[in-house]
């Protein structure tokens, strides 16, 4: 049987066969793509309004090889970015950073910048909700880490402590974010259990 778009329907599989196959539908997707898709699902369902913040860039040089194809040759960041995402959920301002690592044993703190930590602290002082989402891509696991836990780890490393967050800390102090079909990184389910 063919669908209206011309593609053939996959061969029939019994429920038993389907249940034995692992779910890898998000393999190859980046964390950012998964979060963007999740945010679209939340918006469509009327659950939350959360978007990726655009990075302010100053374009300096553009080449026009053809009238219809401009190519940016030189550009600079206008200012340091804060965090990746912000919006509103259940009347609460939500602001978070999303990072991905291939490392299996730890997340390097060099992936976070001091101005981002300061921004998160300012948001928390205004009763906003801040957190970080970290994906260990090699392990296929995505974790929620509340900003307060991140702050204490950050402060320790500035006083000579570890320059990374061990994977075990995410397992013990973070929360594993469930993978869902429509909301691939269903962090709102974690917020419901954790905070709101």
Question: Given a cut of 50, is residue 16 above it in pLDDT?
Answer: no
- Name the domain count of the chain: 1
- Does 116 count as an annotated binding residue? yes
Report residue 118 as tokens. Answer: 């300061």
At 195, give phi and psi (nearest 5°).
-135, -50
3-state secondary structure 31-94: HHHHHHHHHHHHHHCCCCEEEECCCCEEEEEEEEEECCEEEEEEEEECCCCCCCEEEEECCEEE
**Residue 164: which domain range?**
27-54+81-194
Average pLDDT over the chain, rounded to whole? 83
Average pLDDT for 164-175: 96
The answer to whether residue 134 is domain-embedded is: yes
* CA–CA distances in Å: residue 40 to residues 32, 47, 51, 179, 185: 12, 10, 9, 15, 11
As given in the structure block, the two tokens for residue 84 are: 């990746």
pLDDT at 118: 94
168 is in an annotated binding site: no
In a domain, 69, yes or no: no
Per-residue pLDDT for 147 more than 90? yes
Is 84 annotated in a binding site? The answer is yes
What global pTM score does this model have?
Answer: 0.75
Task: Judge whether 16 lies within some domain.
Answer: no
What pLDDT is attached to residue 176? Answer: 96
Say if residue 97 carries a ligand binding annotation: yes
Residue 159 included in any domain: yes
Please report, for the domain that includes residue 92, its CATH number. 3.40.1350.10
**CA–CA separation, 134 and 57 (whole Å):** 25
Decide if pLDDT at 59 tops 90: no
- Quote the pLDDT of residue 164: 95
Q: What is the pLDDT of residue 158?
A: 83
């Amino acid at each position: 049987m063919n669908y209206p778009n011309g593609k053939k329907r996959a061969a029939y599989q019994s429920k038993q066969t389907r249940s034995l196959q692992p779910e890898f539908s998000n393999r190859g997707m980046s964390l950012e793509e998964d979060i963007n898709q999740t945010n679209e699902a939340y918006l469509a369902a009327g659950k939350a309004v959360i978007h990726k913040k655009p990075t302010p860039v100053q374009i300096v040089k553009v080449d026009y090889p053809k009238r219809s194809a401009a190519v940016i040759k030189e550009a600079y960041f206008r200012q340091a970015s804060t965090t990746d995402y912000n919006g509103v959920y259940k009347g609460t301002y939500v602001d978070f950073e999303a990072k991905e690592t291939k490392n299996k044993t730890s997340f390097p703190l060099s992936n976070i910048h001091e101005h981002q930590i300061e921004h998160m602290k300012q948001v928390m002082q205004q009763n906003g909700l801040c957190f970080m989402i970290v994906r260990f891509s090699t392990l296929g696991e995505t974790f929620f880490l509340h900003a307060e836990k991140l702050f204490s780890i950050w402060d320790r490393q500035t006083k000579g402590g570890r320059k990374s967050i061990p994977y075990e800390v995410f397992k013990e102090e973070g929360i594993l974010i469930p993978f869902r079909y429509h909301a691939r990184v269903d962090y709102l389910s974690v917020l419901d259990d954790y905070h709101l």
